[in-house]
Amino acid sequence: MSQAPLITDAVTARIDALVSQRRDEMHAISPDTLEMNHIAAGLLSGGKRFRARLAYWGWRASVLAHDPASDVATHTGRSAIEALATGLEIFHAAALVHDDLMDNSDTRRGMPAAHRRFETHHRESQLAGNGQHFGLAGSILLGDLLLAWSDDLFLEAALTLPQAPAQVFRTELRTMRTDVTVGQYLDVFESVAWPHVADADALRRAQQVVVYKSAKYSMEAPLVLGALLAGASPELVASLRAFALPLGFAFQLRDDLLGVFGDEATTGKPAGDDLREGKRTVLLAIARQRADRSTRDLLDELVGDPELSREQIDMLRQTLQDNGAVDEVEALIERSRVRSLEALAGASLDSQSRHELTALVDAITRRAV
């Protein structure tokens, strides 16, 4: 039986306890902070928990590599992996708050984005000043607060390690933070720098964003951090990286397709949001490479227009399908999926860890949300 529900249930319980504890601390400072805590609780209540699950399976694989007879349910490191997994989910929530603000997104998981909720609070409370600015300031601070909470949990996990392994663990954490922040900046930069980018270089730059904004941060780092928490060997870490990086690449490419073609009722995001935001995705780079002059002019004129109508979005979708860009991205996803599975086949893992990671590959690459 899969142990994924066990780790996700433990993470949810930890999040609930942390939010409740911090609500009391914040209320003691001022009851005016309760809305901030309430928004945090809503953000942390959902999601697929991929990062928590990957961290757990990396940890479990490392525990059993050291001692195949270990009982992972009662292992002394169980509390530490739960802290790490919870910290990763809270760190991700912080990234989403800031991402939605930078993208000027209205929704997240079918609910108003954090900055929109702060704007609503400003309006309903009849506060003075500019509601949009209040929403911006509130969401920046909420993201920062969530980052601080995640740091508390990462420290809790790191303190269970001896000095040398703890240093390796902290270095991986630092790399993760740098990768996702730099990757996010490159994502923002590409959306405004693209007119000056040579056509021959556009795809490489889009792929670089995928690697640093998502693949390393979303898949590689959680899996490796979990393994390092159990003292993984360099050989096991290398095997897990070889598995996780192509999986993360496929994960983001699927996300890019869902950002254009996803069902709004399922994804919780408005259909075609990436087109309105002008995301310079791998999908768009391939579409421009394959397009004739008139089609390229159409893409350049419409992509990035925040006022795109539903009819214009439908036209852009059809264009992306007709010129073969969608099929090419699907082929890239499949090649990345195969590379990930091949790396997994060559890794020295216990049978259950191998089975669960194999199942995660399909869940991640063939998802509809």
pLDDT digits (tens, 9 = 90+) for 49-58: 999 999 999 9
Asked if 116 and 26 sit in the same domain, the reply is yes
Number of structural domains, the chain? 2
Residues 222 and 134 in one domain: no
Are 239 and 295 members of one domain?
A: yes
The residue from 126, 159, 192 where one domain ends is 159
The answer on 199 and 104 residing in a single domain is: no
- In a shared domain, residues 153 and 255: no
Give the pLDDT of residue 3. 57
233/306 same-domain check: yes
Q: Quote the pTM value.
A: 0.94
Neighbours of 320 (CB within 10 A): 25
User: Per-residue pLDDT for 1 more than 50?
Assistant: no
Does one domain contain both 276 and 225?
Answer: yes
Please give the average per-residue pLDDT across 101-126, as a whole number: 93
pLDDT tens by residue, 259-306 = 899 888 777 777 788 899 899 999 999 999 999 999 999 999 999 999
* 203, 232: one domain: yes
- Inside any domain, residue 287: yes
Residues of the chain with pLDDT > 90, as a percent, come to 86
> Mind listing the pLDDT tens digit for each residue in 27-56?
999 999 999 999 999 999 978 899 999 999
Of 159, 189, 219, the domain-final residue: 159
* Confidence band of 5 (pLDDT split at 50, 70, 90): low
Residue 175 belongs to a domain: yes
Range from 95-99, 111-115, 259-263 carrying the lowest mean pLDDT: 259-263
Domain membership of residue 84 (yes or no) is yes
**CATH code, 328:** 1.10.600.10
Domain boundary among 125, 159, 193: 159
Residue 346 has pLDDT above 50, yes or no: yes
pLDDT for 314: 95
